[in-house]
Amino acid sequence: MHTVAYSCHEFAFFIGNGGVRGWSCSSAASLSGVIPADELSAAEWACLDQAWQSLLRGNIPVGAAVLDGTGTIIATGQNMVYSASPASSDAAPQHLARSLLAHAEINALADLAPERRYADCHLVTSLEPCPLCMGAVAQATVGNVSYLGADPFNGAAAQRITTRYTSRVLLTLSGPRDDAAGRLAAGLHLAYFVRRNPAGPCATVHRELRPDLAAAADSLLAAGLFELAAAERPWPEVAGRLLAAV
């Protein structure tokens, strides 16, 4: 299921230490043979770009973005679990690094100022949020969540732990995508763990419960995923190849 309706051809903006810089997914038009460009929102492409940047830095490839009520991207985040510091120019000082808590969603939500509430905002993430990130969504008062790829190992999108504080905001949830974009997002995450430990718990659970996602991860590895990352290829250059692989 997927219900995000933002246009892929709109411009979005990253806000970081270097100020605001424009970003557009119009380059995705060349991927029409794999998935029509207008079926992916600017935020979804931003999430995949952030996930790729995370992988280039040796982290678990997950990315996230927050949109305001008008559909403008106001914050982005990437997984920085193994980064010594937020080395990216897109990383705000408050982004967490070198911690098991340094998830993409946490780093995107950390950019939201505490002076207002965010029920009209939308968190878009490349992977199904875990219990930590679903809790952070509630605490940050964000009212909408969408994710691209399923995570049968640690995904917690269906879980709700409510308090009188968090129950004030009704959460709307959408995901995962059941197309190449969803398989790519989930496959990137799984490929990272398969490479580290092919017989580990994450890989084992996926092969038991979601063999299609396990196959996507294997295909990404066969397509040279980590060789492309080692060469530091930019996301627009590798996106078509990786989407075609899954």
pTM of the model: 0.86
27 pLDDT exceeds 80? Answer: no
Cα(84)–Cα(37) distance, rounded to whole angstroms? 35
Burial (CB count <10 Å: 0-12, 13-18, 19+), residue 67: buried
DSSP-derived letter for residue 156 is -
Q: How do strand 63-67 and strand 122-127 relate by DSSP bridges?
A: antiparallel
pLDDT in tens, 165-214: 999 999 999 999 999 999 999 999 999 999 999 999 999 999 999 999 99
pLDDT digit string, tens, across residues 89-126: 455 677 999 999 999 999 999 999 999 999 999 999 99
